[in-house]
Amino acid sequence: MLNIICVRLVGGLGNQLFIYAFGLARSKKQKKRLLVDNISGFSHRDKYNAVCVLDDYKVKEDLIRGSIYKYFVANRYFWFLVKRFKLGHIERDQYSHDDNLDDVKSCFFQGYWQSYLYFHEYKDVLKEKLQLMNSENSKIIDYKNKILNTKNSVAIGMRFYDTFPGDAEQYGVKSIDYYMEAMKLIESKEKNLTYFVFSMNIERAKEELSICRDRNIIFVNPLLRMADAPLDMYLMSLCNHYIISNSTMYWWAAYLGEAENSMVICPSAFLNKNCLLPHWKKVT
């Protein structure tokens, strides 16, 4: 087999990070070079019009764009062929963790790999790699200063899946009851909290939380371009505590941002049960 581990990026920021983290961990375990195909998974065929956003992190040397491999790996026909003829290719459609992969010696991997069990032992390496290159971006600097100057901040990520028909039913939208219970849980442990609310539909988030007038809430105006997703996630990661909905991007904000004394509250029925860390607080 080739002395590489190659993964193919697809989807939005959260999905891309799971795929990258899986590939990084696998390359470390097998002492092989990591190649990330950040080209072939993004095209006009994607209904979400996703774009690769890993360029915003310290992972340049892992991206296939700067490698000679891009000339024959970074296209959808290559991935079709290695899958069709089983040329060192593994694909997993399911989101759950696969224990049997530990002994597999394949080179090419497709899938979402949405489980911290694939890469958690390399969390420190990931935190170093996934540092935002432009953390002083003018688009976020005011909110960044507000968060950093807040004594006890809580990031609330509200995902409504209201862009495409059927997404809300498939992925699940949390009701206001979930957020109220989560806030009360944090307030039972922490005082003097300031909530920073993140959502692609901030007006709906304001409506949902209109009953929380007695709390200190700051609504973060969203950056609606997909290419700006790392900026939103970075702001969330600066907070002390986290309340997340069914969103891989919000999952990563909590995973990368949590400290020893952080509280992370998440839905008990998340997108994938293997995502949720044991110490995170699960709320129905």
Mean of pLDDT values over 148-153: 97
- pLDDT tens digits, residue range 223-259? 989 999 999 999 999 999 999 999 999 999 999 999 9
β-bridge partners, 33: 4
Q: What is the pLDDT of residue 94?
A: 66
Q: Beta strands of 113-240 (E only): which ranges?
A: 153-157, 194-198, 217-219
CA distance 16 to 126: 13
Nearest to 194 by CA among 152, 222, 234: 152
**Closest CA relative to residue 271, chosen from 114, 119, 97:** 114
pLDDT in tens, 165-201: 788 888 889 999 999 999 999 999 999 999 999 999 9
**DSSP single-letter state for residue 220:** P
pTM exceeds 0.75 for this model: yes
pLDDT surpasses 70 at 1:
no
pLDDT at 100: 86
Helix or strand (DSSP H, E) at 233: helix 229-237
Mean per-residue pLDDT for 142-171?
93
User: What does the alpha-carbon distance between residue 263 and residue 21 come to, in Å, rounded to a whole number?
Assistant: 23
Distance CA 138, CA 202 (A): 20
The amino acid occupying position 10 is V
Question: Which run of H or of E encompasses 7?
Answer: strand 4-8
